[in-house]
Amino acid sequence: MVSFTLHSAIFSALLAVAAITTFTAAAPVAFSNQTSSRLDACGRLGQKNGVDVKYKDVAACYRAIPFDRFAADTTISTVHDLFRDYYVFTDKALAPRLPKPFTSESVDILKQLQTIGLRKYKSDYQFHTDVRYAIDTLRDGHASYDVNCYTNYAFQQHLSLYAPVKKGVQTVRVFTDYKERGYEDCIVDKIDGQPALDHIRQWATKRVTCSHDVNTRLNCALSRQGYYAEDSAFIDEPGEFSVRAYLPDKRYIDYELRCSNKKSSSRPIRLREEWVVFPQSKIQFEDVESYVANVCLSQGGAAPSSAVHGQARPHLRKSAPLIKKRDLLHAYDTVETLVPVQKFDDAEKLVAGNATIFYRLKSQPDVGVMVVHTLDANFDEVDTILEGLTAFHSHNVTKVLVDLQGNGGGILSLSSDLTQMLFPNNNTLDASFEVDMRAPETVQRLSALGFNSPYGANYDARAYHDLQVEGAPQYENNDLFMKPVNITRNGRTNQYSERTVLYSTPLSTETLTAVAAFPWTGRRENIRILTDGRCASACGMTAYFWTKVYGIEAYSIGGTKGEDLSMFSFAGASVSTLSDLQDTYSLLKMESPLKEMAYKNQVRFAWLELYGKNRTVPLEYDAELYRPNHRLDYTQRNARSREVMWRQVAGASWK
C-alpha cells in the first residue's frame, strides 16, 4: 500500500478547493450489531468503515439509492436555469464546427438537460450520472456537476500509462506499476480487448473535459511528471484514465502487455486489474436511508463546499485548477516520504517559490528554465519571480525557457504580473483582457442590488472598468448590466453586458527598472515556451499573451503523433459555483430564482468570457489561437525527465 499512500499525497497539494473531509484510517468501530445478512447494500458498505472496500460494495450501494422524482425535477430546473441565464458559453457551445486543434461537438446543453428531465429513471445514480455527462460535453474545465453522494469513493488502477513514440511509432506503455511487478515500459497492446491507444483516445474523447482539443484530453488522461510542491520535486503522476473520482463502468480493466525485459517476452501477459477503492469521507451510515441522509442530502452531515466571495473582484478570484476535485485522491494522515524524487544532474536549481522554480542548464549555461507549475499562489510570488530572473541574470543566463506543463491556473493578477515580467506594459491596459458577461433580466435584477454592495461579488459593476470612458476608470453606475447588448450566436439571441475590461495593475517602477536590465526582456527570440496543453485558465491567459501578442514560439509535447496539440487547455477567465451564486443572493437579501437542490453539490460554471486582442470570438472558442509553432512527441526518456525535455527545446531553439 505504500505506493498508494505516496500517490494520494501527490494530490493533496491540489486540493485547495475541495472542501471534503479527509479520510483517516481509523480503527474500525462497530456501527451496529446487525448481522450482515440483514443489512442492505449501503449497510454492508458502511459496516466496512472504509477498510478493504471493494468496487462491488460501492456499486451496490450507489445503485440501491432510490430515484426521487421531486428532487430530480428541482435539480434539473436549477441546473437548466443556471446554464440558461448565468453560464456564459451556452450559445457559443452550439457551434456546429470548431476549427483545429479543437474537435467539432455541437452542444445544446439546455436541450440535453430538458431531455434528462423527461426521461424515466429507476436509479438515482444513473440520473446524476446523466446530468454530469451532459455538463461534461461542454468540455469546459470551468463547468462541472458533482454531488457528494457519488464522489464518496475514489478509484485507482495499479498501472498508470503513457504513450511515447519510439522509432516513429506511438504505443501505449506502462508508466508506473504501483504493485512493483516490474511492468514499467512494457507495451500495452490491448485494453479491454481493444487496441490500447484507440481505447484511451476514445475514453478521453468521451470522458475527459479539460479541453476542446482531444489531444490535450489525451494528455489529461495519461501519466506524466508533475511537480509535487510539498517535496519541491518532480514525481510521476497518474492521469485521469487511471485515477477516477467516479465509479468506473466495471470492476476491473483488462490489459494485454508485451514486455521485452521479461523471460516470457514472446507471450503476451494478460492482467485483470481491479480498481482499488479510496473512501473520500469518514461520514458514517448504516443503510441506504442513512447514506442518503448523511452523505447525500444538504441537511445534516458536512456542509456543501462553498465559499463566500463577497469581496472578491474578478481579477483577484482564484480560478479552478485543471484537475478537478473529482479527479483527486485524498491524502491519508500518514504520508510516507518515499516519493521517488527526480534528480536533475544537468540542471542547477537557483530559486524556488510556491509557483515558480528557476533552473540553469549546465550543458547550456546561457539557458535558464523558469518552471511555472501553478498560478495559485500569494501575490508576493512576484517577488520570487523577480528573484529568480535576477539569479538568471547574475549567472549569465541570456535565454529563458518557460515550462508551463500541468499548470492548472490560479489568480489572475499573478497571471498578468507574470506576463509583464517578460513583456513590461507600454500602456496600462496592455496585459488586460476585454471581457463580457451574460446580462438577461435575472442578472440585471441581481446586479441592481449588487451594485456598490460589499456582497455584490461578480455582479457589482464597480468591479469592472468602463472601456467607453478615456482611461477605463471603474464603473460609477450599473450601465454595464442595465444596458445589455443582444448577441446572436449560432442562431440564438441573448443579452450580454457591453464589453468591459479585466484590469491588470502595471508592475511597480522598481520591478520595471529591474527587469529592463535583463537581456531577454521584451525579446521574443530569447524566450521559448514548453507546454503539454495542460495549461488552464489563468495559465492560458499568460500563454495567449506571450505567444499570440508578443510572438514567443511554443513547443507542445504529447498528444497523438502527427496531430495538432493546443498550447493551453482553456482560457476562460473565471469560475464560480452555484453555491457562490446562492450565497450572493442570500447576502443581498434577495430570493434566488434558482431552487436549492436536495443534494450537497458543487456545480461550477464560467460567468465571464474574454477575448483575444481585436478578436470577435471568445478566447475559449478561438481555436486558431491555441495552435503552437512546434510539436514534440513524448519518448521513453523525455516523459520521465523534464531535464531531457528542456535540453531538447533549448537545443532546437538556440544551437
Ligand X SMILES: *[C@@H]1O[C@H](CO)[C@@H](O)[C@H](O)[C@H]1NC(C)=O
- The DSSP line for 74-86 is HHHHHHHHHHHHT
Is the CB of 179 or the CB of 395 nearer to ligand X? 395
Q: Smallest Cα–Cα separation from 164: which of 650, 646, 638?
A: 638
Cα separation of 437 and 618, whole Å? Answer: 11
Nearest distance from C-beta of residue 197 to ligand X, angstroms: 38
Stretch that binds ligand X, among 36-44, 139-147, 374-382, 578-586 (CB under 6 A): 374-382
Sequence-distant (≥ 6) Cβ neighbours of residue 447 within 8 angstroms: 439, 456, 459, 460, 461, 478, 480, 481, 482
Cell matching residue 259: 514486455
Residues 178-217 that bind ligand X (CB under 6 A): none
- The conformational region for residue 222 under phi > 0 = left, psi -120 to 50 = alpha, else beta, is beta
CB-CB contact of 262 with 200 (8 Å):
no
Cα distances from 407 to residues 85, 534, 542, in angstroms, run 30, 6, 11
Is the CB of 613 or the CB of 637 nearer to ligand X? 613
Q: Which of 91, 381, 466, 609 binds ligand X (CB under 6 A)?
A: 381
CB-CB contact of 596 with 298 (8 Å):
yes
Q: Which of 103, 342, 354, 648 binds ligand X (CB under 6 A)?
A: 354
Cα separation of 327 and 245, whole Å? Answer: 5
Residues 16-55 that bind ligand X (CB under 6 A): 33
Residues 417-446 that bind ligand X (CB under 6 A): 423, 425-426, 430
Q: Smallest Cα–Cα separation from 600: which of 312, 292, 369?
A: 292
Nearest distance from C-beta of residue 157 to ligand X, angstroms: 33
Cα distances from 433 to residues 428, 528, 541, 615, in angstroms, run 12, 23, 9, 11
Is the CB of 77 or the CB of 425 nearer to ligand X? 425
Beta-strand runs (E) in 490-618: 492-496, 500-502, 527-531, 553-557, 576-577, 601-605, 608-611
Cell matching residue 655: 544551437
CB-CB contact of 514 with 390 (8 Å):
yes
Cα separation of 598 and 265, whole Å? Answer: 55
Cα distances from 471 to residues 250, 313, 508, in angstroms, run 59, 19, 19
**What mask of x and - would describe binding to ligand X in positions 585 to 624, judged by CB under 6 A?**
----------------------------xx----------
Nearest distance from C-beta of residue 68 to ligand X, angstroms: 29
Is the CB of 355 or the CB of 401 nearer to ligand X? 355
Q: Which of 36, 37, 486, 488 binds ligand X (CB under 6 A)?
A: 486
Q: Which of 311, 378, 477, 490 binds ligand X (CB under 6 A)?
A: 378
Q: Which of 353, 388, 533, 558 binds ligand X (CB under 6 A)?
A: 353
Stretch that binds ligand X, among 283-291, 377-385, 404-412, 437-445 (CB under 6 A): 377-385
Is the CB of 55 or the CB of 423 nearer to ligand X? 423
Nearest distance from C-beta of residue 269 to ligand X, angstroms: 45
Nearest distance from C-beta of residue 363 to ligand X, angstroms: 14
Is the CB of 239 or the CB of 353 nearer to ligand X? 353
CA dihedral 564, 566, 567, 573 (to 10 degrees): 170
Nearest distance from C-beta of residue 402 to ligand X, angstroms: 16
Nearest distance from C-beta of residue 148 to ligand X, angstroms: 27
Nearest distance from C-beta of residue 353 to ligand X, angstroms: 5
Q: Which of 395, 499, 561, 630 binds ligand X (CB under 6 A)?
A: 395
Residues 493-522 that bind ligand X (CB under 6 A): 522
Is the CB of 333 or the CB of 380 nearer to ligand X? 380
Beta-strand runs (E) in 526-641: 527-531, 553-557, 576-577, 601-605, 608-611, 630-632
Number of shown-chain residues binding ligand X (CB under 6 A) = 19
Nearest distance from C-beta of residue 483 to ligand X, angstroms: 8
Query: Considering the rule CB under 6 A, would residue 380 count as an interface residue with ligand X?
Result: yes
Give the relative orientation of helices 441-450 and 69-85 as an angle to the nearest 10 degrees.
80
Nearest distance from C-beta of residue 381 to ligand X, angstroms: 5
Nearest distance from C-beta of residue 430 to ligand X, angstroms: 5
Query: Is 150 exposed, middle or buried, given 0-12, 13-18 or 19+ CB atoms closer than 10 A?
Result: buried
Q: Which of 25, 60, 549, 590 binds ligand X (CB under 6 A)?
A: 549
Residues of this chain that bind ligand X (CB under 6 A): 33, 353-354, 378, 380-381, 384, 395-396, 423, 425-426, 430, 485-486, 522, 549, 613-614
